[in-house]
Structure 1
Amino acid sequence: MKINAIELFAGVGGFRIGLNHIKDFDKETGLAEEHGDWNFVWANQWEPSTKTQPAFDCYITRFGKENHINMDINKVNKKEIPDHTLLVGGFPCQDYSVARSLSNEMGIKGKKGVLWWDIVDVIFEKRPPFILLENVDRLLKSPASQRGRDFAVMLRTLDDLGYIVQWRMINAGEYGMPQRRRRVFIFATLKDTIYSKKIISINDKEEYLKSDGFFNDIFPIETENIIVKKKSLEEFVDAVDVSENYQGGKFLTTGLFINNIIINFNINEKSNEKTATLGEVIKDAEKFSNIDLENYLIEGEELEKWEYLKGAKRIKRTSKSGHSYVFSEGNMSFPDPLDLPSRTMLTSEGSLNRSTHIVFDKKLNKNRKITEVEAELLQMFPPNWTNTGMTKRQRYFMMGNALVTGVVSRIEHKLKSIIKQKNNQ
């Protein structure tokens, strides 16, 4: 039985790769070899303020053009989106403060973070029973001026729409994947599904969250000495009230939200899996890339620049207001260690900046940048996935903006078994 799904803010297809366990694509047609049970009936990808759309071009090269839309999500008629059982998407972390329209007829809308409200509009119109979203870990504590407000707004909005919510901050590198990348995954389920009803009926929800939950049995955690904290959003009239008056502080790294009650705690990962390393990725990439590594070398004056960027420093600076202060940052490993998972990849990967990965190539006996294929493998994408006419810079950017597909692949089996329960509609 195929399960209908849609992918919002699709990028180059990370969620779809993970769910359908995609490892390769046809070298003649360019189309992905999908082996899973997920039928993607619609996807949307749009990059504002650019003349070209390389992410969307990559998506349709790998998945075909049918039902894949390159349009500002705000302009999409949400009623025309096909019905689906699962909605997935990774969306930017912005400012999610909200306000009512002047007439109050349009309900609650975002001042900023409008992409979240487009997700809400899709949910309101299509009522998918299951939702799986991904965001950066700072979502749980943003904004700095009102810690936790943004996530509280999201939780309250989903509750008002009829969902229960579970979340978990997952560091892929702690679970046998080749990159230390912390991301928050959010799983929301309609309250009238069998799955939600079972959770609602559980008396000891704290124990459920510790020993199972949606995430914690897939990505094991230490269960001793856990300090569970509870709080409530019952006092707030709606999401506007939450936005204006929430003072409950940041959210912890895993939690459950049912009927305005929050149960959450900070996890300590527990994994017996073999560590995947940056060195293994570099070795694997040799099989798939036929490129001249001389073009990735850093030496001479350029090497001196990298050594400065990666090194510790204390610099006296003056702000625009005339205030003097000392900017400081610590030393980074240089080159990057090959016997550990890599550091988190950013969209600036490959450019001259402190966060770019530099490795010592034993064959060349020199330092170099990682290649585009190595960047893809760090995100567990099929090698050369983004080799669809993009520039080198664009390929790095796509991977810095993506998710570790192995996390989604690990979630997939349980997600599928939940959805395929009888009478879950």
Structure 2
Amino acid sequence: MKFIDLFAGIGGIKIALENAGFQCVFSNDIDNYCKITFDINFSEIFEIEKQMFLGDINKISTQKIPDFDLLCGGFPCQPFSVAGYRQGFKDEKGRGNVFFDIIRILKDKKPKAFLLENVKNLKSHDKGNTIKVIYEELEKLGYKVIDKVMNAMEYGNIPQNRERIYIVGFLDQKSFNNFKFPTKIPLEKNIHDCLEKNIDKKYYYNEKPLYKKIKNDITKKDTVYQWRRKYVRENKNGVCPTLTANMGMGGHNVPIILDDNGIRKLTPRECANFQGFPDNYILPKIADSQLYKQFGNSVVIPVVQRIAENMKKAL
């Protein structure tokens, strides 16, 4: 069965779905740096169709998208004015929201199913109006819809405290009835399974101005800490705090650990490990800040893979 990967980023959903036995026929994102990382990992020199289609989804006509069975996307959570929505999207906010491009593509292509991923607070956003509109729009197209908030450390055997909402829909009632979200599994991996051994000096704070501020707070080797602009927060669960897109941008939300050589931040490769990327995934030679952003924005691959496997059985 074929799928398309919208807001594809660096291909986390693509890896998960291909591991579950689906075939990707189209990937799209608007970010140039994501395309660099994506293409180096997925396209052979002569296979242009495997490269990411770079561009704004608002401007991609459905004619350009090959036929597919499943639409996937970790779409950005943009606020849309529910008042404007009620007036038929006359306001700028309503029209600019990429969720309605998902609706447009589903309406034109009528795939059997979809899988969408978003931040947990989509459920409570705008007092619950946002998720209500999302359900209304999807159900209008004939989809039966269900969602669940799942944490990577409970559903993916990945030691990261990362809660995300997954929204699944099927056109066929029987497929919908056959679908169940995965159940919780034990967390067998710990943070040391995701850490590297030989670390470049540049990741250490030992000689840097921040060192004085944080050295008394970072004392344990089995914990991932987080620098929150003014203070250090310790993760008491023994897992990595939620990786964020801004962790490489000026020092906020940076995950920090203590190892035998001192206090340092996680490397981009370690962030890839905490999202469940395979060891052979290539990190291109671009700025670390871009790599941190890419992994912070990505999905936890084993969680998405488990959902996709259940969707495949249901279909």
Deviations, residues 210-246 of structure 1 (Å, cap 9, x unaligned): xxx621xx124xxxxxxxxxxxxxxxxxxxxxxxxxx
Describe the SS at the equivalent of 1:349. Answer: helix
1:162 Cα shift? 0.6
Alignment check: 8 A CA contact 1:306 1:354 kept: no
> In structure 2, do the counterparts of structure 1 residues 309 and 401 end up closer, same or farther at CA, with 3 Å as the change threshold?
farther
Q: How many residues align?
A: 297
Alignment check: 8 A CA contact 1:309 1:353 kept: no
Taking the aligned partners of 2:29 and 2:277, their CA distance within structure 1 comes to 18
Q: Does 1:44 align with 2:28?
A: yes
Taking the aligned partners of 1:43 and 1:308, their CA distance within structure 2 comes to 46
1:299 Cα shift? 2.0
Partner of 1:171: 151
> In structure 2, do the counterparts of structure 1 residues 173 and 113 end up closer, same or farther at CA, with 3 Å as the change threshold?
farther
1:292 Cα shift? 4.5
Q: Does 1:296 align with 2:203?
A: yes
Q: Which has the higher contact order (CA 8 A, sep 6+)?
A: 2
Alignment check: 8 A CA contact 1:97 1:112 kept: no
Q: Does 1:372 align with 2:290?
A: no
> In structure 2, do the counterparts of structure 1 residues 342 and 20 end up closer, same or farther at CA, with 3 Å as the change threshold?
same
Taking the aligned partners of 1:351 and 1:341, their CA distance within structure 2 comes to 22
Taking the aligned partners of 1:135 and 1:386, their CA distance within structure 2 comes to 25
Alignment check: 8 A CA contact 1:164 1:189 kept: yes
> In structure 2, do the counterparts of structure 1 residues 352 and 58 end up closer, same or farther at CA, with 3 Å as the change threshold?
closer
Alignment check: 8 A CA contact 1:5 1:39 kept: yes
Matched letter for residue 403 of structure 1: V
1:79 Cα shift? 2.9
Alignment check: 8 A CA contact 1:373 1:384 kept: no
Matched letter for residue 64 of structure 2: E
1:94 Cα shift? 1.4
Alignment check: 8 A CA contact 2:159 2:187 kept: no
Matched letter for residue 71 of structure 2: L
What is the 5 A alignment of 1:17-36?
17-21=15-19
Q: Does 1:115 align with 2:79?
A: no
Q: Does 1:219 align with 2:183?
A: yes
Runs of 4+ aligned residues of structure 1 deviating over 6 Å after TM superposition are 106-109
Deviations, residues 363-415 of structure 1 (Å, cap 9, x unaligned): x2x11111111110000112363512321111111001111111012223222
- Give 1:412's match in structure 2, choosing from 294, 304, 308: 308
Matched letter for residue 152 of structure 1: K
Partner of 2:60: 76
Describe the SS at the equivalent of 2:246. Answer: coil
Matched letter for residue 120 of structure 1: I
Partner of 1:88: 72
Taking the aligned partners of 2:152 and 2:281, their CA distance within structure 1 comes to 20
Partner of 1:153: 133
Alignment check: 8 A CA contact 2:257 2:263 kept: yes
Higher Cα Rg: structure 1 or 2? 1
Alignment check: 8 A CA contact 1:179 1:343 kept: yes
Describe the SS at the equivalent of 1:60. Answer: helix
Taking the aligned partners of 1:390 and 1:159, their CA distance within structure 2 comes to 42
Q: Does 1:66 align with 2:45?
A: no
Describe the SS at the equivalent of 1:416. Answer: helix
Matched letter for residue 358 of structure 1: I
Taking the aligned partners of 1:183 and 1:96, their CA distance within structure 2 comes to 20
> In structure 2, do the counterparts of structure 1 residues 78 and 395 end up closer, same or farther at CA, with 3 Å as the change threshold?
same
- Give 1:5's match in structure 2, choosing from 3, 6, 14: 3
Deviations, residues 241-294 of structure 1 (Å, cap 9, x unaligned): xxxxxxxxxxxxxxxxxxxxxxxxxxxxxx4x1342212211xx33xxxx6532
Q: Does 1:184 align with 2:192?
A: no
Alignment check: 8 A CA contact 2:246 2:252 kept: no
Partner of 1:32: none
Unaligned runs of 5+ in 2: 219-229
> In structure 2, do the counterparts of structure 1 residues 107 and 156 end up closer, same or farther at CA, with 3 Å as the change threshold?
farther
What is the 5 A alignment of 1:200-219?
214-215=180-181, 218-219=182-183
Partner of 1:254: none
Taking the aligned partners of 2:95 and 2:192, their CA distance within structure 1 comes to 41
> In structure 2, do the counterparts of structure 1 residues 170 and 93 end up closer, same or farther at CA, with 3 Å as the change threshold?
same
Matched letter for residue 280 of structure 1: D
Matched letter for residue 132 of structure 2: A
Alignment check: 8 A CA contact 1:350 1:369 kept: no
Matched letter for residue 312 of structure 2: K
Describe the SS at the equivalent of 1:340. Answer: coil
TM-score (ref. length: structure 2)? 0.85
More helix, by proportion: 2
1:96 Cα shift? 2.5
1:308 Cα shift? 9.4
Alignment check: 8 A CA contact 2:68 2:111 kept: yes
Describe the SS at the equivalent of 2:123. Answer: helix
Matched letter for residue 9 of structure 1: F
TM-score (ref. length: structure 1)? 0.64
